[in-house]
Structure 1
Amino acid sequence: MADTGRVRGTPHEIALLAGGPRAAVTVAVVALHLRGAVEAGAPGTVRAVDGEAGRALPPLPAPGSEPGALTGAMRAAYLESAVYHRLAEPSAIRELVRDLDIRWAVAELRVGLAEAGMLRYPLLGSTRAARRRLQVLRKAFPLPASRRDLPDDERLLAVALHGETALRVLVPRFALRAGLTERVSLRHRRLLRHSPRGDAYGSAGHLSCGGGSGGGCGGGGPD
């Protein structure tokens, strides 16, 4: 296995590089689900679960305040917190991506990636280093064949790297009920099975974004 310690970030950051804000928000939703903080609501929606996992999330900084120096893990926690509190009202994934607090949290993820040389100013396109990071990680962490005995952090990394294909393998029922994946015909399943695995989000590793505010672009376990 390749040495990925130097290039590996949080699954939220990796998903943002691979597929943009929706991918990062999807990873946050799955992370919360694996800890029992959210569940599928009405078809195509997700809702928060009142419990210890949700209460353990950090509060978001007050509007206009400076959050100070943040690590990637802290930025990921802010994104999960923003998603969790938005889901006090059941919402679809497309609604989450448009939420102002979630947009702020995604923008903070971008700041960290830009500081690490993964995104270019001013348009925040992915750099050669970012594309190389994704290539190395996809080679080192191919799509798991099964969710059996797979730790939650490896599930999240797989979702970040392999997108919907990983969701169908690792959290199939939750992903379908929550609207993270769509129902596919038997013929479409055959096509997916034989399709090449590369950028699971169909973006060739580029980050497509709608502005600096973080706008919309582009076994075991609770499943």
Structure 2
Amino acid sequence: MSTGTSIRLRPYEVALLRGGPRAAVTVAVVALHLRGDVEAGRPGRLRTSEASSEAAGQAPPPQTSPPSQAPPAPPAPASSPDPASSPAPLPPLAEAVRAALARPAGLPQVRDHADVRAALAELQAGLRAAGLLRAFPPHRTRNARRALDALSAEHPLPTSRKGLPESDALMAVALYGEPALHVLVPRFALRAGLITRAEVAEGKGFHSRSPRGGGTGGTAYSCGGGGGGSD
């Protein structure tokens, strides 16, 4: 994030300004899902993926040879990983969300995890220092609203995920919340509890069941460290 006449906001900051802590955590969850680190578990639950667990674990033990065979040759030295092929390091909020999913959990539990609350507080402090967020009462400043309007004009709601870079997908989720989730990761978002289930009423087309406590598409902002706000 930079300040001054030109304000460049990252998706996590955009989501926090637009929809509060829940929106920012949702962007982190989607970022981890696009990397293959997080998947939907039981309905409404998130968990780390098997591929992510294997990548973080140790290599399988070597197989033993039968007594009649010669001992195997020593393994070749491991080559250094290619920096170009290595995934980019995670931002602090996404790293905190992944740590919070050491055990499967729902989005509210992830948001209330101590590490996630600390990462959110750090983001909020940066936004306040940049003059984009006021603490008392907690709301966006005029500069923040202008920045969000400019980003919305620069990044319209996508109509498809095909060919969309990950950075643009995250920015779309940050700017538009639930409508972007419906376009980009509908099955994952529905199973993970990030969006509400659509129902079909005869003669009325599609509509969504409003969840208790508000949906994920609102614009209200709350400055609480781990709660409040709507996505």
Alpha-carbon displacement from aligned partner over 1:98-137 (angstroms, at most 9, x marks no partner): 1111111000000111111111244442100011111111
Tell me which of 122, 133, 138 is aligned to 1:119: 133
Q: Which aligned pairs between 1:10-159 and structure 2 lie closer than 5 A?
A: 10-49=10-49, 51=52, 77-159=91-173
Determine which structure has the larger strand proportion and give its number: 2
What is the distance in 2 between the residues matched to 1:53 and 1:136? Answer: 41
Residues in 2 aligned to 1:207 and 1:37: alpha-carbon distance in whole angstroms: 28
Mapped to 1, the partners of 2:54 and 2:20 lie a distance apart of: 26
CA distance in 2, matches of 1:21, 1:54: 29
Q: Quick one: distance in 2 between partners of 1:19 and 1:145?
A: 21
User: Structure 1 residues 181, 53: CA separation in 2 closer, same or farther (over 3 Å shift)?
Assistant: farther
Task: Report SS of the residue matched to 2:39.
Answer: strand
Q: Indicate the SS of the match to 1:136.
A: helix
Structure whose CA Rg is larger:
2
- In structure 2, the residue matched to 1:209 is 223
Q: Return 5+ residue gaps in structure 2 as ranges.
A: 57-87, 209-215
Deviation, structure 1 residue 8: 2.7
Q: How many residues get paired?
A: 184
Q: What one-letter code is carried by the residue in structure 2 that aligns with 1:112?
A: G
Secondary structure of the 2:176 match is: helix
Query: Would the alpha carbon gap of residues 165 and 118 (structure 1) be closer, same or farther in structure 2, given more than 3 Å must change?
Result: same
1:108 and 1:202 map into 2 onto residues whose CA distance is: 23
What root-mean-square deviation, in Å, do the aligned CA atoms of Structure 1 and Structure 2 show? 2.5
Q: Is structure 2 residue 178 aligned with structure 1 residue 167? A: no
Check 1:189–1:47 CA distance in 2 against 1; reply closer, same or farther (3 A cut): farther
User: 1:39-93, CA deviations, whole angstroms, 9 ceiling, x for partnerless residues?
Assistant: 11111111013538985xxxxxxxxxxxxxxxxx99x711111110111110110
Give ranges in structure 1 of 5+ residues lacking alignment. 56-72, 193-199, 219-223
**Matched residue type, 2:21:** P
Q: Aligned partners of 2:197, 2:111: CA distance in 1, in Å?
A: 22
Query: Once the two structures are superposed, what CA deviation does each residue of 1:5-49 show, in whole Å capped at 9, x if it has no partner?
Result: 933311000000000000000000000000011111111111013
- Compare the two structures and name the one with the higher helix fraction: 1
- Which residue matches 1:58? none
2:162 match: secondary structure: coil
Supply the distance in 2 between the matched residues of 1:180 and 1:42 (Cα, whole angstroms). Answer: 13
Distance 1:77 1:101 in 2: 13
Letter in 2 for 1:40: A
State the 1:202 CA deviation. 1.8
SS at match of 1:185: strand
Distance (Å, rounded) in 1 between the aligned partners of 2:200 and 2:114: 38
Please give the secondary structure, in 1, of the residue aligned with 2:163.
coil
TM-score of the aligned structures, taking structure 1 as reference length? 0.75
**TM-score of the two chains, using structure 2 as the length reference:** 0.73
Moved over 4 A (4+): 52-55, 187-192
